[in-house]
Amino acid sequence: MAKKGGNNLLSFVAWLTGVIVSLSVGFAMIDNILSLPSYLGGTSVAMVAGWVVVITTVISIVLAIIHYFK
């Protein structure tokens, strides 16, 4: 059973890895490096989804910073 709180460094590394992956995937979708098949909406839907990923990731970064200094 995991401890509550856990290792702060490990938690930070896991969070930072998630942020980096989210931003990488989001920007790849925006730049049409990653796309969707045409029956799922194609590049326009992928671009919108990419922006959603980037914006929500930036919001989570801001909220994490606010929570840290609160």
Instruction: Sketch the domain layout of the chain as residue ranges.
Output: 14-69
Q: Which residues contact 2 (CB under 8 A, 6 or more apart)?
A: none
Q: What is the pLDDT of residue 7?
A: 81
Is the predicted pLDDT of residue 1 greater than 80, yes or no?
no
pLDDT in tens, 30-69: 999 998 999 999 999 999 999 999 999 999 999 999 998 9
Q: How many whole angstroms separate alpha carbon 17 and alpha carbon 15?
A: 5
Q: Name the pTM for this structure.
A: 0.83
Question: Tens of pLDDT along 14-23?
Answer: 999 999 999 9
pLDDT at 46: 94
Contact yes or no for 34/46 (Cβ under 8 A): yes
Question: Is residue 6 pLDDT above 70, yes or no?
Answer: no
